[in-house]
Structure 1
Amino acid sequence: MASQLVSSAIADNTVVVFSKTYCPYCVKAKASLAQALSTLENVSYDTAVTVVELDKRPDGPALQAAVAAKSGVRTVPQVFVGGAFVGGGDDVAALQCNGKLAKMVATAAASRS
């Protein structure tokens, strides 16, 4: 069940962030996404990004295990853009700093239109 939910979330959304509310790396990844998306005209954070806060869900541990099985990484945040795993907090920040993150999200959003 958790694996199916994770697969659906990744397939059905432009960007998915599996996160925990108290995690500083998760906060950093979400801020990097928000900053990158603020540069785009046709894509907004609110419409493009789905955040799954694992610590707020009763099935959070099962979801985190399912996400780890997909990405090969056990820790959060885990960010998927256009169905592909792009990494965690530092990875997302690096993509944002070099301008690649906005392009990735724009491409993924356009392919879903």
Structure 2
Amino acid sequence: MSLSFIRRFFSSPVTAEAMSAATQKAQSIIDGNAVAVFSKSYCPYCNQTKKLLKDNNAEFYALELDQEEDGSAIQDALEKLTGQRTVPNVFIGQKHIGGNSDLQAKAKELKSLLSSVNAIKA
């Protein structure tokens, strides 16, 4: 049984106020970064996503939800925004890409996609 399942099972429901704040925070991160990755530090799929981005010299912002006090509320907000509950949850150019398998499927076109949003390190 995963820690996130246990935490979610025993945690109190997110209040409307907390959900609103989490939604604003998530949207601010998405809007303020050419590439945003909502991740969990222990997740192997998240690590694969960040490695692929690093290998392509991408500048990206990664928020480790398991290290944020409001991480579960942000994850709930992302689910409402995208329909995706799992991590990683990737945005490029403010567009939802999906998870690791979605990003890996775009590996051949990733450089071009990153260049189009000015997210390549010089």
TM-score, normalising length: structure 2: 0.77
Q: Distance in 1 between matches of 2:27 and 2:115?
A: 21
5 Å-filtered alignment, 1:51-62, equals 51-62=62-73
The one of 33, 47, 50 aligned to 1:30: 50
Give the structure, 1 or 2, with the largest relative contact order (CA under 8 Å, sep 6 or more).
Answer: 1
The answer to whether the aligner puts 1:95 opposite 2:106 as a matched pair is: yes
| Structure 2: gaps of 5 or more residues | 1-20
Q: CA deviation at 1:35?
A: 1.4
Q: CA deviation at 1:2?
A: 0.5
Aligned to 2:118: 109
Q: Distance in 1 between matches of 2:24 and 2:83?
A: 17
SS in 2 for 1:18: strand
Amino acid at match of 2:44: P
Query: Highest Rg: 1 or 2?
Result: 2
5 Å-filtered alignment, 1:1-113, equals 1-37=21-57, 45=58, 48-96=59-107, 98=108, 100-109=109-118
Count how many residue pairs are aligned between Structure 1 and Structure 2.
Answer: 99
SS in 1 for 2:86: coil
Runs of 4+ displaced beyond 2 Å? none
Amino acid at match of 1:31: K
Q: CA deviation at 1:36?
A: 2.0
TM-score, normalising length: structure 1: 0.83
SS in 2 for 1:109: coil
Identity %: 39
1:60-85, Cα deviation, whole Å (9 max, x unpaired): 00011111111111110000000001
